[in-house]
Amino acid sequence: MSEHSEPLRVICGPTAAGKSAVAMLLASRLEQTTPITIISADSRQIYRGFDIGTAKPTLEEQAAVPHECIDVIDPIARCSAWQWADLAREAIARAYAAGRTPVIVGGTGFYIRALTEPLHEAPELDADRRAPLNAWIDEQSPALLRAWCERLDPERAQFGPVQWRRAIEVALLTGERLSAWHERPRAAEPIPVRYLLVDPGPSLAHRIAARVDAMLDHGWLDEVARLRAVVPAEAPAWLATGYAEVVAHADGQLTFDAMRTRVTIRTRQYAKRQRTWFRHQLDSAQVTRIAPDTASVMDLAWRWWHDQHEERL
């Protein structure tokens, strides 16, 4: 982040508010002048295979705009806010290196805070030694990279190829595990941030109900059946909102209608907690609020992007 002086842009808000839709529309409008990379700040979209019930961006959306921090860890692994922040910082660096502007999009407030208030050191790597190592890494298979990561830094092996690569680099070039570097506390260095808080107000309840129906219509029950065949019942990924109720329905403990009702209620409760967090934890001076159902939503989002303070709500 230090190589770029502009504030980090964050599109946040409660679940089902329309954050991703706003981000995708902005990306389409900016593609010719300022292409963006979307970095998901969602504590459940990080898990591989848990797609429909977490409202993960579709493959078409991911093909249209690069997405990061999606499908990065196994369902049986845990990912703390600080671990996610590590992944997000790496994703931000890749976006800038590719000539794109990173945008954080999501509703997990603790993730966003961990990113904007870093607490650990980052190792400096010797460029001359790093070049030949990278050339060797480029030639290796993902299976071999994971095996190396498991030997050099087991805590990082739960992630994906990009993270395995980074762990190998740090371990071999510094003599210490990246996870050990991340355990070293330091004074927080604030990152300049501007927030676009997307919240439809009273209509959120209806949006949540519609999303639950859409997920069920698009095969959520089938997804859960497939996952249960390969993912242990105690895996952290099952804690994603709604999955317990779908499992209970599959086991005959809930009727379809009761399951749908409970998922909707749980999602509304989660959205209420998110709203409370964003209301109390974000600096209001850094926040632009928009309702996604208004006719002028994209004009307001465009003005936010260009930091036109006088248009803030």
Average pLDDT over residues 24-48: 96
Q: Are 70 and 62 in contact (CB under 8 A)?
A: yes
Which of the four pLDDT bands, split at 50, 70 and 90, describes residue 308?
Answer: low
Residue type, 248: A
| Residue 45 main-chain phi, psi, to 5 deg | -70, -10
Quick one: pLDDT at residue 114? Answer: 87
Task: Domain 6-120+192-313: give its CATH architecture.
Answer: 3-Layer(aba) Sandwich (3.40)
Q: What is the pTM of this model?
A: 0.79
* Res. 127: pLDDT tops 90: no
For 76-103, write each residue's pLDDT tens digit. 998 888 889 989 999 999 999 999 999 9
Quick one: pLDDT at residue 35? Answer: 97
Distance, in Å, from the CA atom of 131 to the CA atom of 135, rounded to the nearest integer, reads: 6
211: Cα separation from own chain's centroid: 19
Look at 51-60, 76-85, 106-115, 212-221 and tell me which has the smallest mean pLDDT.
76-85
For 205-225, write each residue's pLDDT tens digit. 999 999 999 999 999 999 999
* Res. 158: pLDDT tops 50: yes
Quick one: pLDDT at residue 184? Answer: 64
| Residue 11 main-chain phi, psi, to 5 deg | -105, 115
For 246-273, write each residue's pLDDT tens digit. 999 999 999 999 999 999 999 999 999 9
Average pLDDT over residues 266-290: 93
Domain with CATH 1.10.20.140 in the chain: 123-182
* Res. 12: pLDDT tops 60: yes
Task: Domain 123-182: give its CATH architecture.
Answer: Orthogonal Bundle (1.10)
Quick one: pLDDT at residue 309? Answer: 46
* Res. 117: pLDDT tops 90: no
**What percent of the chain has pLDDT above 90?**
69
Domain with CATH 3.40.50.300 in the chain: 6-120+192-313
Quick one: pLDDT at residue 122? Answer: 62
Distance, in Å, from the CA atom of 275 to the CA atom of 258, rounded to the nearest integer, reads: 26
Q: Are 156 and 111 in contact (CB under 8 A)?
A: no
* Res. 297: pLDDT tops 80: yes
Which of the four pLDDT bands, split at 50, 70 and 90, describes residue 280?
Answer: confident
Quick one: pLDDT at residue 119? Answer: 57
Q: How far apart are the first and last CA of the chain?
A: 27
Question: Containing H/E element for 155?
Answer: none
Q: What is the mean pLDDT of the chain?
A: 90
* Res. 124: pLDDT tops 90: no
* Res. 68: pLDDT tops 60: yes
Quick one: pLDDT at residue 86? Answer: 87
Distance, in Å, from the CA atom of 215 to the CA atom of 161, rounded to the nearest integer, reads: 29
* Res. 70: pLDDT tops 50: yes
* Res. 312: pLDDT tops 70: no
